[in-house]
Structure formats: C-alpha cells, structure tokens
Structure 1
Amino acid sequence: MHLVVWPTAKENRRDTSIVISLTIFFILFFALVDWLIKNAMLLFVK
C-alpha cells in the first residue's frame, strides 16, 4: 500500500475557490447562451 498524502488547508482553500469560481462562471455563461438562443428563436418566429 502507498502512503496517503492529504492536501494542506491552503491547497483545499485554493481548490475550493477554483471550483466555486468555475461553477459561477459556467452558470453565467450558459445562462447567457440560453438567453441569446431564446431571443434568436423569437426573432425567427416573428
């Protein structure tokens, strides 16, 4: 068996910040894409 090395508290904070930031970024990105597609479809329907 190999020795398990746990991340430090600093590494955990950094990794958690990255995950939260990327999650917020992708939420906003996909909300914008969804809004653009919806409005483009409404223009074609009219």
Structure 2
Amino acid sequence: MGILMLILGIVLIVAGVFALVRRQMLWGIVLIVVGLVVAPGISYLG
C-alpha cells in the first residue's frame, strides 16, 4: 500500500509542476501540497 501512495504522490507532484508551467498557479500549488501529504517518506507530516 505504501508504494501505491508513493507513486500517487509523485504523480500529483509532477502534475502540479506541469500546472505551474502552464501558469495555473493555484491548481499547481494545491496538487504539489496534496502530493507531498499523500507520499509517505516525502512529507514532513508523516
């Protein structure tokens, strides 16, 4: 289960970066923050 959460977190972070590149600031920041919270081992909350 942990590996799936890690993959999901990485996908969300990459999607957030692409959103930032397309100048969708709010959506990109939200995706990056959610990706950091979801991905175990990357977030400071977990």
TM-score after normalising by structure 2: 0.49
The structure where helix makes up a greater share of residues is 1
User: TM-score, normalised on structure 1?
Assistant: 0.49
Name which one, 1 or 2, has greater alpha-carbon Rg: 1
Q: Using CA pairs under 8 Å that are at least 6 residues apart, name the structure with larger relative contact order, 1 or 2.
A: 2
